[in-house]
Structure 1
Amino acid sequence: MSTTNEKIRPGSPSPSPIDEKPPSPYKSDGEYSSVLVTEVRKPKLPMLWRIVGLIVALKTTIISHTHINNSKFATLVAVTNLVNTFLCILLGFTIDKWGGQKLSVILAFFHLAGSMIIAGAATNNLNSFVLLVVGKVIAAIGDSSLDNAQHRIFSTYFAPGKGFAFSIGMIWSVANLGQFVGQSTANVITRNLGSYAWSLWISAIVSAFSFLCAITLVVIDKGLSSRYHITDQTNGGKHQGKTQSNIFSIKALRKLSATFWIIVAFAVFENAGVQSFISISTQFAQQRLKKGAVIGGWVSSFYLLLPIGLTPFLGVWIDAFGNRCVTPAPQVEIVRQVIPDPRYFATAFAIKKSVVQASIVIITTAAGKIQDDSGGSLDNAISLWLAYAFASVVISSALLVAGSPWWPILPAARLAQVPAKNTIAEVERLDKLGSIPSGEEGFKTLKERSYNLKIMGRNRGWVSWTMLALSIGIMLLGWVMFGLGVFWGVHGNVVAGTTGE
């Protein structure tokens, strides 16, 4: 008979709530609970078994074993969002300055360390909530921009229309597959092995594999750059294995295209709306089907199946035919396409990602408060999601019109629509239409002409500064809303998902 001191497995068997019905949304005295917990997963690591996704899938189990309430669990999940709202931008600057190869190793190490701490917090009945939070914070440091570092590596080796979209589609496919397997089997593993620590340790092992992959990538990259002449697709020069140390300037943000800021505005509504709505899927499935966590996890994982098979083919389509404003193009690819200088790709993507994270916190906290004030009904809260959806449709429609061949108000959006083989002809056509900003003349190369078609004119730099200020305002509002959520007993906390990233 085992005692509590025996250490024969990562967590002694204990009565598991895995097969229990989902917890009632009502308190013991019949009052409706004021805590709304919403979580979404964001698969990005190679061969990913996401620690965040597992924690969400194991929510009922973790609450039972650590003896915490919904509010504390929401805080556990929210840590990643709060870190991402500011750390993404700082790391985006760093990635553009030093390159994605070495940064991917450092960030993967942080994710591995955090995963091991989280798994250790559940081992041998330790069930430490404090260690879980510490592990999440450390993992969030790596998790916040590891995908950005990987995208930066791809942008070095692949040009738009020549494999970049396909490479992004492939990594998304593998990442979605990893998340689907992890999310749908976490509760099964816990039920069969007697402890949720096993699922978390498997996640740590896969994180270790990702760390080794990152190291291998650095070795291969260094070997290729030393033996062969590899063209850096972001600047046209020889790939040196790292970015020039003097590349970044804060003034470069002034030159981000108007199209980029429209994409950010679109993501504020579409990404946040979709991801926060998906976040209720597991508990919603449990309550609707009146089933346990295993069935709920499987049902809520189905939305990952279509991207597994679709994203590589979508990448091939974009590489071959363009149409980035028509198809549900990965925003990773379209951001790289519309910014004037691809060397600032990581910085631009980090700005978009940070604003989206803050917007997710805002909508989920607001939706939770609306639901509480409506006596637990989702009707009014769903109206908020519909408003977000309507705003995203309006913005995307405006972008489509502005990038049309008949009325190309935004040259960057128009160039994103054409395939790579037609870029030269389209640049010539836009030149004749007078799309180049006034005062910018005498260009000699296609790269220079394309750059000046996308850049803000000399008299429009204030637009970028204004949009950047609004972005910072949204991020600050996200923190304020999180604080209000604590005060209200409502937590809007989601980790960005795959949709539109």
Structure 2
Amino acid sequence: MAEKSSEPAMVVDDAKSGNEVGVESVSSNDDNSPPAVIGVPLSWKLTSILLVSAIGFGSHWSSGITGAMKSTIKRKMKINNTKFALLDASEDFMVTVLMLLSGLVTDKIGGAGAILYGNIIITIGSILVAASAQTLSYKLMIVGRVIQALGDISTQIAQYKIFSSWFPPNHGFASTLGLELGIGKIGAFVGKSSANIISKNTGNFANVFWAAVGINVFTNLMTGVFYLFTRYANKKFIPTADPATGEKLTEKSERWNFKAILELPWVFWVVMLFSLFETSTAVVFSQNATELAEMRLGISNVTAGWYTSLMQYGGFFIVPLLGIFIDLYGNRISILAFCGAGVFTAMCLVNWTTSLAGTSTAFGIYAFAFCFGPTTIIDSIRTSIWDQNIFGSAYAIKITMNNAMNIIVRVITGRLQDADSDSYTRVTIVYVFLAACSVAVSIALIAVSFRSIDLRRLQWTRKQRVKNGTLINERKDVFEGENGERNRGVSKWCFGALCALVVGSWVGYFWGVAAGKSY
């Protein structure tokens, strides 16, 4: 029998009927029986966050080690920068091929099952990567990374899809993201900072990848617990409703949403434009940061690993606080502008200052500014779309777009570095250009938000969003009705541009493969 939650009931106004909609509990017809629980209790939500964070700790630990060991992998496996770039680009390539389909499937079947199966596949891939390092087989490492990508495709969307079904915008979604991403930063810091230490102390760099296999086994255990927990929770509790709009939040969709991804609102696409430049800057710079520190600062790979780990992940305590701030006070566009400006400043220093002080300052600014990006972007995606049940597809578009851009940037910067005698002189100019584009987009967003209610929703505080719940529903009706034809045209044009970017990334990938073979 269902237990009574101690969390107070939340009540919202139904925009159409004016009736109060309870989202926590209702009375049973039988006066002798306790009320049935409807909303998921806070204690269950917190448990789910901790379980997903444990899963994220393991996956982030593994994700940090390849970049930390770039110079070692190149030396041991006798590969150049172009071939190293293809290690990451191969994973990005598989993501661009299958991520959109994965988003649709996750929306249909829910996130818990996708996480379970995806992590099993990731573990298989990690074993092959470790074996490739042991045997110094570059081709086997490519195969292992591709298999890891197949698993990662399933898991990237699933955990945030679950969060979106339990937490509405401005009511816990950003806080949940912040906590998970903060713990993930700790995991990535431990992995990246310890990678070269394990390699040096054990005398075999392959042991770093075997350690990753062990971490992935732990991740699988946590995933199994989370899968059982979620299945039980879905049977025990009825979905919550959004306090502002009255929308019922669900983990699974009753139908396939093929049409929905072609008709996402233009606000979503402008957030994607910012992410296109800012996220790609951060991903590719982070991948090369350890080797860059070795060259610029004249330090060992172990010291560089610690140095860049602190740079990338030292702000782990900021991210949960940022999530709480966004839930209460909104201002997502302003935060994106701050993040873009900070990363741009850091990239300018990286490009035009080669001194110890200048490089250290650049890394410090980047470490602080980048903390404001991922949580804000993901929460902005959730806030910008009209229907929660297509969040998986919307987030899949973001991942597809970023990975397509990453392929292009990785291959270009790899070739530039090889052509410049392994120097980063030409590479850092690319970082500056991408960061400058993100700043330009954020400035445009601020300007347009003064005129557009739809875009200004991203700035709303919790109180403003609840107060304007009826307005949100009215704007949705206008988007789909009165302005429907024009909006659908804009959305389809944006989706077409995404497809062109993906095809361009495939061309870049195979060009990189051909270029790598020429060495």
Same fold (TM over 0.5): yes
Name the structure 1 match of 2:258. 250
Assess, with a 3 A threshold, how the Cα gap between structure 1 residues 140 and 266 changes in structure 2: closer, same or farther: same
Q: Indicate conservation of the 8 Å contact 1:427/1:450, yes or no.
A: no
Name the structure 1 match of 2:93. 82
Q: Indicate conservation of the 8 Å contact 1:340/1:454, yes or no.
A: no
From 492, 496, 500, give the equivalent of 1:469. Answer: 496
Q: Indicate conservation of the 8 Å contact 1:339/1:454, yes or no.
A: no
Q: Indicate conservation of the 8 Å contact 1:368/1:490, yes or no.
A: no
Name the structure 2 match of 1:385. 431
TM-superposed CA distance for 1:452, in Å, is: 2.9
The one-character-per-residue Cα deviations of 1:173-199 (angstroms, maximum 9, x if unpaired) are: 111111111111111112112222332
Tell whether 2:146 aligns with 1:150. Answer: no
Q: Aligned partner of 1:93: which letter? A: L
Q: Indicate conservation of the 8 Å contact 2:61/2:187, yes or no.
A: yes
CA distance in 2, matches of 1:71, 1:371: 8
CA distance in 2, matches of 1:285, 1:205: 29
Name the structure 2 match of 1:397. 443
Tell whether 2:419 aligns with 1:419. Answer: no
CA distance in 2, matches of 1:318, 1:452: 26
The one-character-per-residue Cα deviations of 1:449-500 (angstroms, maximum 9, x if unpaired) are: 3533665822211111111010010111112122333444599xxxxxxxxx
Q: Aligned partner of 2:446: which letter? A: L
Give me the identity figure in percent. 28
Assess, with a 3 A threshold, how the Cα gap between structure 1 residues 77 and 365 changes in structure 2: closer, same or farther: closer
Higher deviation after alignment, 310-319 or 229-238 = 229-238
Tell whether 2:234 aligns with 1:231. Answer: no
Tell whether 2:66 aligns with 1:55. Answer: yes
CA distance in 2, matches of 1:283, 1:48: 22
CA distance in 2, matches of 1:324, 1:468: 23
Structure 2: runs of 5 or more not aligned: 1-53, 337-374
What TM-score comes out, normalization by structure 1 length?
0.77
Assess, with a 3 A threshold, how the Cα gap between structure 1 residues 227 and 156 changes in structure 2: closer, same or farther: same
Q: Indicate conservation of the 8 Å contact 1:266/1:396, yes or no.
A: yes
More helix as a share of residues: 2
Q: Indicate conservation of the 8 Å contact 1:254/1:462, yes or no.
A: no
Q: Aligned partner of 1:208: which letter? A: V
Structure 1: runs of 5 or more not aligned: 1-42, 432-445, 492-501
TM-superposed CA distance for 1:119, in Å, is: 2.2
Residue 325 of structure 1 aligns to a residue whose secondary structure is: helix
Q: What pairs with 1:85-484 in structure 2 (closer than 5 Å)?
A: 85-123=96-134, 126-231=135-240, 236-237=247-248, 243-246=252-255, 248-328=256-336, 330-370=376-416, 378-404=424-450, 407=451, 409=452, 411-426=453-468, 448-449=473-474, 451-452=476-477, 457-460=483-486, 461-484=488-511
Higher relative contact order (Cα pairs below 8 Å, separated by 6+ residues): 1
The one-character-per-residue Cα deviations of 1:361-403 (angstroms, maximum 9, x if unpaired) are: 2233334455666677655544433332222212111212222
The one-character-per-residue Cα deviations of 1:68-118 (angstroms, maximum 9, x if unpaired) are: 444443332321111112221111111111111111111111111111222
For the aligned residue pairs, the C-alpha RMSD in angstroms reads 2.8
Q: Indicate conservation of the 8 Å contact 1:52/1:77, yes or no.
A: no
Assess, with a 3 A threshold, how the Cα gap between structure 1 residues 78 and 309 changes in structure 2: closer, same or farther: same
CA distance in 1, matches of 2:107, 2:393: 7
CA distance in 2, matches of 1:276, 1:454: 37
The one-character-per-residue Cα deviations of 1:34-83 (angstroms, maximum 9, x if unpaired) are: xxxxxxxxx98344454342233233333444444444433323211111
TM-superposed CA distance for 1:235, in Å, is: 8.3
